[in-house]
Chain A
Amino acid sequence: MIKRRSALSKIALGVAGMVSMPAWAHSWSPSSLRHFRYLSLEDETLLAAITDTIIPKTDTPGALELGVHHLIQKIIVDCYDVPAQATIRMGLVLTDAVSIGDFGDSFTKLSPDQRLAVLKKMSLSEYPDQKNFIAMIKRLTIDGYMRSEYVMTNITKFEFAPNRYYGCVPVKA
């Protein structure tokens, strides 16, 4: 943990100017990285916090409560190729780096407003690593949320067996 923290601090120093990276991230290429089979516990916690920020709990459940991060983890581990996985891995590191740079602590320790500020900043970043990561993780979070049982049952009202088709009906007001 201490080691990780110090590595991230180093990155944080660079956030204002050029972002510096841990060793693996410096020289990664699709051929140098191997396909990963799981996320570390830390990364999983961070991923959960990011999804919770993208779609928070309001009067209805948010992404965290619906377990969207479990699904995302499953998809990036099983379905994504190495370059896409690298975007995720790099993005998780960068999220903490930006958090520490702007608010002095890692993402999971920040307030909801601070977390949102971090993700918004990254989404507008001139660095493709940040921008692409937010685009990817946002798309995954939206997909997971919209395809959750809660949303499909209560919000989008999916019907498994409609037992009808009408070709031409008035649009409901």
Chain B
Amino acid sequence: MSNLNIDSIKRVTYDAIVIGSGISGGWSAKELTDRGLKTLMLERGRDVKHIVDYPTAMTQPWEFEHRNQLPLEVRKANPVISKCYAFYEGTTHFFVKDDEHPYIQDKPFDWIRGYQVGGKSLMWARMTQRWSDFDYVGPARDGYAVDWPIRYADIAPWYSHVEKFAGITGNKDGLDTLPDGEFLPAYELSCVEKYFKEQMTKHFPDRYVISGRTAHLSQPQPIHYKQGRGKCVNRTICERGCPYGGYFSSNSSTIPWALKSGKLTLRPDSVVQSIIYDESLGKATGVRVVDANTKEVMEFFAKIIFVNAAALNTNLILLNSTSNRFPTGLGNDSGVLGKYVAFHNYRARINAEYDGHLETTTEGRKPSSGYIPRFRNVHRQETEFLRGYASGFSANRGEIRSNEGLGEELKTNLSKAKLSIWRVGSGIMGETIPKESNYVSLDKDKKDAWGIPQMHVNVGYDDNDEKMIKDFFEQFTEMYTKAGFTNIRTSDSKQAAGLDIHEMGGVRMGHDPKTSMLNKWNQMHACKNVFVTDGACMTSTSTQNPSLTYMAYSARAADYAVRELKKRNI
């Protein structure tokens, strides 16, 4: 080997590589750099710098060319992404366009992606609930999927760690189904959310209505000011990026923090093709990257690799990382790579009205909602379906303006507002069961513009989900009726899997290398210097919004990896 080559290898060698800059990658990078590791963060999309790259953050509603309607051409060219609630005229620049990044839907699957620095942490819905042991024991109890190799006690201190830094609102609710955390002041429940909470306590003592825990700075602490973030000002247009840093994102928090350490190199426009495995060393040595713009292929080397490409793309990278030792994908001795993918069932909604408490209303806006933790199959299996569901709950009064008439009559009508009676609504967030038959795989021929194989997604609902929807409608109809709500209407959107944007699994954790990919430290059983801490690692999905758990796993795994590195175990 010539000296020149040795020089070039030196130039691209780091202590650690983090693949992906979304919510989990940001945390991996922060924790690794905090511990002194020279870290390279690879992001396949363009750079998005906090504040300066939020082009619509200060756009007034009347300044949008089509008042936030999507042009027909955009909708036609992007049938999948156009279904996403957060995709509108003010946010199109943060979402992947369907035709640029094709994938193959063996079953209908709406894959919602954000390819840029910060990933989907820019546009996420910011609900952040801890898992409890009721969530962790699901698979062990009913035998679907494998037992989680960790329990709540393993992750609790890391929840605290990430909550303090990210800033999470909440009340100490004292529930065993939803452990308390390190909270900033909660957003208040509305009068009728409170009323519903009281009604539930009276009629269903095991069903709680709480203020959803949310990644917003309701009252910033010194650690948040140190990140350059300030108080949330209740604009509720978070998905456009927040110039105040009022909600947590990689862009506002972990990435600038890691960059300030001087230890982080951020390389946008870097499409990871595969992880390089060295058979003689028995570990991964680096990452092969295609430059998104020049298509030049490059290699970067490091002692440890964190895969945080977002659940399905992490599967894709590992499936595409083949070698003599791992012919079906990196670390895939068990054969479970790409399998047991699951998601959250978001199909069912139930709305109603309440004509009490008419002397009261709400004032201002809140970036949060009420939350009803899971109450089905908690202590024992009690229904025809497995596992359970959590739900959002909100109660607000709308403004009604009559649009009767034409001319001056209409204009006068429009100028008069009156409050509607209370409108209440709940949406299901149901656990789906991870199954071998819900899987992703790579196409043998079709490739994308960067030469990466296209992915087949074969993930869908099953009978358990249908039974759960039925139960949600029955239970909430009864709960609403007991509370005196009227005009109760149920709806099933029949939306495809994926639109929940909670896809998980494929690289699951477990005790046994024969049936899982990762150990209890999110470390690959068969390739010890590779860690997976995004949604791909999830053994089961339970019923909490998953991002907070990814953050905690990333921080915990980074801490472990650095300790192991220092002990020269990896």
Show the binding face of A for B, using Cβ within 8 Å.
35, 53-56, 58, 60, 62, 71, 74-75, 78-81, 112, 116, 119-120, 123, 138, 142-149, 152, 155-156, 158-171
Contact A165 B361 (CB under 8 A): no
In the bound complex, do residue A120 and residue B406 qualify as a contact, i.e. CB atoms below 8 Å apart? yes
Q: Which residue of A lies closest to B235 (CB)?
A: A161
B66 to chain A, nearest CB (A): 6
- In the complex, which residues of chain A have a beta carbon less than 8 angstroms from the beta carbon of B194? 167-168
Among B60, B193, B194, residue most surrounded by chain A Cβ atoms (within 10 Å): B60
Q: How far is the CB of A111 from chain B (nearest CB, A)?
A: 12
- In whole angstroms, what is the CA distance A123 to B407 when docked? 13
* 25 A-B pairs in the complex with CB atoms less than 8 angstroms apart: A35-B72, A53-B406, A56-B411, A74-B65, A75-B67, A145-B414, A147-B61, A147-B62, A147-B67, A152-B61, A155-B415, A156-B399, A159-B364, A163-B234, A164-B363, A164-B364, A165-B187, A165-B363, A165-B364, A165-B366, A166-B363, A168-B190, A168-B362, A169-B361, A170-B359
Query: In the complex, which of the residues B65, B234, B235, B407 has the most CB atoms of chain A within 10 Å of its own CB atom?
Result: B407
**CA of A24 to CA of B129, assembled, Å:** 59
Interface flag for B403 (CB, 8 Å): yes
- Interface: B494 (CB within 8 A): no
B70 to chain A, nearest CB (A): 7
- Which listed residue, B65, B188, B359, touches A167 by the CB 8 Å rule? B188
The listed residue with most B CB atoms (<10 A of its CB), out of A80, A142, A163, A170, is A163
Q: Count contacts on B: residues with CB < 8 A to the other chain.
A: 43
Q: Is B71 an interface residue (CB 8 A)?
A: yes
Question: Contacting B362 at CB < 8 Å: which of A123, A158, A169?
Answer: A169
State A147–B69 Cα separation when bound (angstroms). 12
**Interface SS of chain B:** loop
Q: What residue of chain B has the Cβ atom nearest to residue A75's Cβ?
A: B66
- Chain B residues within an 8 Å CB radius of A166: 188, 362-364
Complex Cα distance A56/B403, Å? Answer: 14
Per the bound structure, the CA–CA distance linking A1 and B231 in Å amounts to 61
Whether A163 contacts B66 in the complex (CB less than 8 A), given A54-B406, A149-B60, comes out as no
Tell me the bound Cα distance from A166 to B187 in angstroms. 8
The answer to whether A58 touches B411, judged by C-beta atoms less than 8 angstroms apart, is yes
B360 to chain A: which residues have CB within 8 Å?
Answer: 168-171
Q: Are A162 and B233 in contact (CB under 8 A)?
A: yes
Q: Which residue of B lies closest to A134 (CB)?
A: B406
Interface centre among A74, A138, A159, A167 (most CB of B within 10 A): A167
Complex Cα spacing A149 to B364, Å: 20
Contact status B417-A171, CB under 8 Å:
no
- Determine if B558 is an interface residue (Cβ-Cβ < 8 Å): no
Please give the distance in Å from B29's CB to the nearest CB on chain A. 31
B37 within 8 A of A: no
B9 at the interface (CB under 8 A from A): no
User: Which of B71, B188, B234, B364 touches A79 (beta carbons < 8 Å)?
Assistant: B71
Bound complex: CA of A116 vs CA of B191, how far in Å? 44
**Which A residues are in CB contact (< 8 Å) with B363?**
164-166, 169
CA distance A140 to B35 in the complex (A): 57
- Nearest-neighbour CB distance to chain A for B412, whole angstroms, equals 8
What is the CA–CA distance of A145 and B410 in the complex, to the nearest angstrom? 12
Known: A78-B72, A147-B67, A168-B360. A160 touches B234 (CB 8 A): no
Question: Most chain-B CB neighbours within 10 Å: which of A35, A62, A79, A169?
Answer: A79
**Given A58-B411, A142-B403, A164:B362 Cβ within 8 A:** no
